[in-house]
Structure 1
Amino acid sequence: MLDRRKLTSSDDAARLDFISIDCEASSGYIDPRTGISQLQPLRSFPEGERNCYTLKPKQGESNNYLIRAFFAYGNYDAKSKTQTFDLYLNVDFWTIVDLDLTDHLQVVEIIHTLTTDSIHVCLANTGRGTPYISTLELRPLGNSIYLASSPLSPSPSQSLLVLDTRVDVGSTKFASGDFTRFKDDTYDRLWRMDDISPDQGWEVFHRSNDIDVESINDSYKLPKEVLMSATRSRNLSSAVQLDYESHWTTPLEKSFNYYVIFHFVEIEKLPAGQKRVIDITVNGQNILSRPITLEYFKPVTIINVTNQDGLHFKISATSESDARPILNAVEVYKFVSPLASPTVQTDGTLL
């Protein structure tokens, strides 16, 4: 059994029980933005059909975790060849890693509730290139958020949420390829900044004055950048709407259900007697039992599970609303269930 290696992280990250594994880098550096150690090289696995890392979080089983892996090819083997292989969580298929010289980085992320005190992340050789990995991370999420369940799979421990996208749609600091993460985000989620507002006819607005994020009662603990900015329609009669695949060109897999998570925060102090009331439809179906009236600095998170082809959402102001519809952020996950038994022995070399 090979040694598992772990870079030293900042005191803040250590207190939160973050696990950040340096996959065979001889030296790393502390990212000044996050305080978390980052690596330069990678580790490759030319031998064995399946090689696995074992993660043992301090909180143990029955807790929800975010597991994330980074892959950066960089022509490390001087072969200038596409490397394709499979990634598994325990014995359940996670995703295909497929990078060539034109792709600088692939980041994949999954959320899962553990039923044992450890978890295996496995790289499987499929004969289409040598598996490799740059960074592997685990972040505790607690027991109150991202609990993946459905009528067919009521237990979160029997399902996976595979991240498709997580976007701060109201970001005022857009830079290509940039993200908001720890220390701005307590859970170290990667919030993509995207300038989709002009394309969709949306209007971005934000609060310039500082706020005490800790004073806001929000179980999802949205980072300040997400809390302080939003996008809205250009007028009261129009909607904040998006056809998912027309903007993000990677199509959704039609055989899966998808978790769509909308985040709203009222950051505008409306005049006395006025209110912002919204309705939400996903693929033409209203997902609310009644419209939502947003209250000043009280975050609202709405979760919907859709099993229809494609994804189109529409957020509208109701006839009772005095203000335009808004949206702060949206997350989309592929819902994978049921899972193989977690007691199945994982074949392959453990790292």
Structure 2
Amino acid sequence: RSDDDAMSLWSQMIVRNFPDFTSIDCGASDSYKDENGIAWETDESYISNGENRVVQNPDSVPEPMRTLRVFSSRKKNCYPVSVPGGGRVLVRASFYYGNYDKKSSPPTFALQFDANSWETVVTSMDQVVSHEAIYDVFAEGTAVCVAQLEQGQLPFVSAIEVRTLESDMYEGLDSSFALLLKGRLAFGAPGVVRYVRVEAAASLSFPFPWSNVAEVNLDEQEAIIRYPSDAYDRIWDPVAASDGLITTKSDTTVMDPTTVKDNPPADVLLHAITTANVSTDVVLFLSELLPIDPVPAYINLYFAEMIHLGSNATNSFQVYVDDDRVIDAVNPPYQTVAEYLIMRKAASASTKITLTTTPEATLPPLISAMEVFVARGGLSNGTDGSDGQSS
């Protein structure tokens, strides 16, 4: 790049605000900075109810998952988090049971934000369960709450993370809605979490049902892409396929993601998943991401060309959702990214996204990344003033 190009890119970067991070390690006794440079604080200044606990075998999990705060009294308990000036935020709540009570009985309970229903948290004996939402904060803060659903099923929290976003990110989101994350995938990126095997077929697909998983990299914390690669600390799951689908890597390390407002990290755009020939479609089944019953869906697709195309090469493909053509022609750019938003009033586990080449294409379709959300409407503008204590 020329000096002028470098200065232009730098000017694009500095006009955007640096995001604010709040990272709460629930039940921890000390503040610390993790290996990603993220500063974690204890939850003592956020809540007084509940009891701190340590999981069994704490050295086997990342530090924020080693402790938790469990609530044996009050049906509902909330963490109020300051967001000066309000605005759009990404909120992530994580739960690791880790048999802290030696009962081998992971609980189920409700998760809420600002008096809005978020998810039913179904915890696991030995897996971290995380839920993420993107929404607008109308006051100077937001509240993350857990509530008991059944007698003896005690709610707990391991970690709460709040990251401010730019006001024009996820611009298809109306302020009366929230986006509930169901999957954020970096196709072909290194540190693959899931490897899959399928029989060769005319139409290849990803992601595949878990029954087809042949090998799993258990060190997922090493595999994921997040801050500092992603300035907003979105967590991207690297995924790749074998026996049919092809992982491809960019022939350059130069990548400018600032050309799109959602600003995905360069690390997820320098790789892609594709097929072996121009006549083979890429089909993305959403069976592992969306529920059986139809829900409103918000889907971001990210495309970047992996090679510098010669004058006789053309990469052009259409995008279908089931039988509906939603994008007439994607021409992935080189050293930058094209982003497309798909919004569906009703999508489900049976929904599929198909990338199929146009007649003039000489290269097969490819995709670098995808985000899948459920859109939740009818939001309350805030939580009850007493929610920080009890309900």
Give the TM-score taking structure 2 as reference length.
Answer: 0.76
Amino acid at match of 1:95: E
C-alpha RMSD over aligned residues: 2.2
Residue of structure 1 aligned with 2:337, choices 279, 282, 299: 299
Quote the Cα distance in structure 2 between the aligned partners of 1:343 and 1:164: 24
Residue of structure 2 aligned with 1:31, choices 12, 29, 34: 34
Q: 1:148 to 1:43 in 2, by over 3 A?
A: farther
Quote the Cα distance in structure 2 between the aligned partners of 1:344 and 1:105: 27
Quote the Cα distance in structure 2 between the aligned partners of 1:319 and 1:346: 60
Residue of structure 1 aligned with 2:224, choices 175, 179, 185: 179
Quote the Cα distance in structure 1 between the aligned partners of 2:260 and 2:294: 33
Amino acid at match of 2:70: S
1:198 — aligned with what? Answer: 242
Quote the Cα distance in structure 2 between the aligned partners of 1:97 and 1:240: 33
2:128 — aligned with what? Answer: 105
1:336 — aligned with what? Answer: 376
Q: 1:312 to 1:100 in 2, by over 3 A?
A: same
Asked if 1:230 is matched to 2:272, the reply is: yes
Contact 1:263–1:302 (8 Å) recurs in 2: yes
Please report how far the alpha carbon of residue 78 of structure 1 lies from its aligned counterpart in structure 2 after TM superposition.
Answer: 1.8
Taking the TM superposition and a 5 Å limit, the aligned residue runs for 1:1-351 are: 16-27=19-30, 29-37=32-40, 38-39=63-64, 40-58=66-84, 60-61=85-86, 63-101=87-125, 103-128=126-151, 129-149=153-173, 156-175=174-193, 176=217, 177=220, 178-195=223-240, 197-198=241-242, 201-207=244-250, 209-211=252-254, 213=256, 217-245=259-287, 248=288, 251-288=290-327, 290-306=328-344, 307-309=346-348, 310-340=350-380, 342-343=381-382, 345=384, 347-350=386-389
Please report how far the alpha carbon of residue 230 of structure 1 lies from its aligned counterpart in structure 2 after TM superposition.
Answer: 0.7
Amino acid at match of 1:181: R
The superposition leaves residues 124-183 of structure 1 with CA deviations (integer Å, 9 ceiling, x where unpaired) of: 11125111111100111111121344xxxxxx2200100001111121321432310001
Quote the Cα distance in structure 2 between the aligned partners of 1:244 and 1:319: 27
Contact 2:114–2:142 (8 Å) recurs in 1: yes
Q: Please state whether the residue corresponding to 2:242 is helix, strand or coil.
A: helix
Q: 1:285 to 1:34 in 2, by over 3 A?
A: farther
Q: 1:225 to 1:344 in 2, by over 3 A?
A: closer
Please report how far the alpha carbon of residue 209 of structure 1 lies from its aligned counterpart in structure 2 after TM superposition.
Answer: 4.0
Quote the Cα distance in structure 1 between the aligned partners of 2:138 and 2:314: 44
Q: Please state whether the residue corresponding to 2:316 is helix, strand or coil.
A: strand
Quote the Cα distance in structure 2 between the aligned partners of 1:266 and 1:284: 26
Contact 1:233–1:325 (8 Å) recurs in 2: yes
Unpaired runs of 5+ residues, structure 2, are: 1-16, 41-62, 194-216
Amino acid at match of 1:338: G
The superposition leaves residues 64-106 of structure 1 with CA deviations (integer Å, 9 ceiling, x where unpaired) of: 11000111111111222121110001111100111132x4210
Please report how far the alpha carbon of residue 220 of structure 1 lies from its aligned counterpart in structure 2 after TM superposition.
Answer: 2.1
Amino acid at match of 2:25: D
Quote the Cα distance in structure 2 between the aligned partners of 1:212 and 1:301: 14
Amino acid at match of 1:198: S
Quote the Cα distance in structure 2 between the aligned partners of 1:260 and 1:161: 10
Unpaired runs of 5+ residues, structure 1, are: 1-13, 150-155
Amino acid at match of 2:384: Q
Please report how far the alpha carbon of residue 295 of structure 1 lies from its aligned counterpart in structure 2 after TM superposition.
Answer: 2.5
The superposition leaves residues 13-43 of structure 1 with CA deviations (integer Å, 9 ceiling, x where unpaired) of: x963111112121135432234443533111
Contact 2:256–2:335 (8 Å) recurs in 1: no
Kindly tell me the number of residue pairs found equivalent between the two proteins. Answer: 321
